[in-house]
């Protein structure tokens, strides 16, 4: 396994982060346990979850599954860099959403109980909360760090301006602030290259891409559909039809270099300087095994250039739109 420090922190994380959103709604508890054991055996030390994961009406179930896995012992908890998130509504009662000081306090205690641990390595805000001043957020996070309940703070789905706001206010308090930003980022969706990545690089915030295969779009979807291994319907079908020429060109290119499309998509993300680790969300053991192959792929400058021709990215703002 290859490791990298998460942003400017001293926290060492595996280049692949095990996303657990499917644990519970899509993957049984037994299979979830097996996938986590396998991830650990391959020295993946970075696991990501959220207090809302578990499926409609079952918020928190994923954290509970991870907690029961930790409870088996074998130094499972000690070997894992554990990340979870708060923001979304967990019930309809007031104050049980967002990142107010009250909800931060309640949410972290609930997550700790479900996860059967006494601390969280990386506590992430799942979305920007424009209704809460940063002074309130950082005061609440400082208390959690002082209590030993969390070690580091991260964000998810923030804009570049939000990262600048957060770090500016944290610096005033002599607080570390954010060390990571979790965002959608892949060959198809590259919007964060305009503002978020430049801000992250400036402040030493590690990027953690989610949806690296864009919901399967970059995983050989056309070939699988032709072979009858995947049926296109609904939004997936609409996305494929909209981008069919690009996706076909991509799959043809991957075939020409004899590398599966999904492996190339993951390897491309791992080659991006701002990316600390890429989040994978396997539903099955086979999907985990497939993701591990990307670690052995080194993309040269020609391949990176060819991929940029198929899926053009963005320049840093304002050059992207002004010059």
**Host H or E run for residue 31:** helix 29-41
Percent with pLDDT over 90 in the chain: 90
Q: Is 250 a catalytic residue?
A: no
- Please count the other Cβ atoms lying within 10 Å of the Cβ belonging to residue 18: 28
Residues of the chain above pLDDT 70, percent: 98
pLDDT band for position 232 (cuts 50, 70, 90):
low
Reading the block at residue 50, the tokens are 């959220």
Q: CA–CA separation, 152 vs 88, rounded Å?
A: 20
Nearest one of 166, 172, 148, 174 to 205, comparing CA atoms: 166
Q: Which residues contact 51 (CB under 8 A, 6 or more apart)?
A: 59, 60, 63, 84, 85, 86, 88, 90, 107, 110, 111, 114
Which residue's entry shows tokens 């999904």? 262
Query: How confident is the prediction for the chain on average, in pLDDT?
Result: 95
Mean predicted confidence (pLDDT) in 229-243:
71
Catalytic entry in 53, 87, 203, 250: 53
As a residue count, the chain comes to: 323
Higher pLDDT, 186 or 225: 186
Query: In the predicted model, what is the mean pLDDT of residues 90-98?
Result: 89
pLDDT tens readout for residues 134-161 = 999 999 999 999 999 999 999 999 999 9
Phi, psi of 278 (to 5 degrees): -105, 130
Burial 173-212 (b: 16+ CB within 10 A, else e): eeebbbbbbbbbbbbbebebbbbbbbbbeebbbbbbbbbb
Candidates 111, 120, 315, 126; CA nearest to 208 is 126
**Superfamily per CATH, domain 3-216+264-300:** NADP-dependent oxidoreductase domain (3.20.20.100)
**What value does the mean pLDDT take over residues 248-272?**
97
To the nearest 10°, report the CA torsion of 268, 6, 62, 292. Answer: 40
Kindly tell me if the per-residue pLDDT of 196 is higher than 90.
Answer: yes
Domain map (residue ranges) of the chain: 3-216+264-300
Residue in this structure with the two tokens 């503002």, named with its chain if needed: 195
Confidence of residue 185 (pLDDT cuts 50, 70, 90): very high
Nearest to 106 by CA among 62, 147, 140, 58: 140
Burial (Cβ within 10 Å: 0-12, 13-18, ≥19) of residue 49 = buried
**Lowest mean pLDDT segment, chosen from 8-12, 52-56, 77-81, 131-135:** 52-56
Between the alpha carbon of residue 40 and those of residues 35, 79, 149, 152, 288, the distances in Å are 9, 8, 23, 22, 11
What residue has token string 């506590």?
A: 123
pLDDT at 233 over 60: no
* Choice among 7-21, 227-241, 274-288, 290-304 with the minimum mean pLDDT: 227-241
Query: In this structure, are strands 16-19 and 12-14 parallel, antiparallel, or unpaired?
Result: unpaired
In this prediction the pTM is: 0.95
Closest Cα to residue 87, out of 48, 138, 136, 129? 129
Res 224: pLDDT: 87
Average pLDDT estimate for 258-271: 97
Biggest alpha carbon distance in the chain?
58
Average pLDDT of the segment spanning 217-221: 93
When pLDDT is cut at 50, 70 and 90, the band that residue 179 belongs to is: very high
């Amino acid at each position: 396994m290859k490791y990298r420090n998460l942003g400017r922190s001293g926290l060492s994380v595996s280049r692949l982060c095990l996303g657990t959103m499917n644990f519970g709604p899509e993957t049984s508890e037994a299979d979830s346990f097996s996938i986590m054991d396998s991830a650990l055996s391959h020295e993946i030390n970075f696991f990501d979850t959220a207090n809302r994961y578990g499926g409609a009406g079952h918020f928190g179930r994923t954290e509970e599954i991870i907690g029961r896995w930790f409870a088996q012992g074998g130094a499972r908890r000690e070997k894992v860099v554990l990340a979870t998130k708060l923001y979304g509504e967990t019930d309809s009662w007031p104050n049980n959403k967002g990142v107010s000081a009250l909800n931060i306090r309640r949410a972290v205690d609930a997550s700790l109980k479900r996860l059967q641990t006494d601390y969280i390595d990386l506590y992430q805000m799942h979305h920007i909360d424009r209704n809460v001043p940063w002074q309130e957020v950082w005061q609440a996070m400082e208390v959690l760090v002082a209590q030993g309940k969390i070690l580091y703070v991260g964000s998810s789905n923030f804009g570049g301006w939000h990262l600048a706001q957060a770090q500016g206010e944290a610096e005033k308090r002599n607080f570390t602030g954010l060390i990571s930003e979790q965002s959608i980022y892949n060959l198809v969706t590259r919007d964060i290259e305009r503002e978020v990545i430049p801000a992250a690089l400036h402040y030493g915030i590690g990027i953690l891409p989610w949806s690296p295969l864009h919901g399967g779009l970059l995983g050989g979807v056309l070939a699988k559909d032709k072979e009858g291994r995947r049926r296109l319907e609904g939004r997936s079908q609409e996305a494929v039809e909209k981008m069919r020429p690009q996706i076909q060109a991509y799959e043809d290119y991957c075939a020409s270099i004899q590398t599966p499309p999904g492996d190339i998509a993951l390897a491309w993300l791992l080659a991006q300087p701002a990316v600390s680790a890429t989040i994978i969300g396997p539903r099955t053991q086979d999907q985990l095994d497939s993701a591990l192959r990307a670690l052995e792929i080194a993309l040269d400058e020609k391949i990176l250039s060819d991929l940029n021709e198929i899926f053009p990215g963005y320049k840093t703002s304002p050059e992207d739109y002004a010059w």
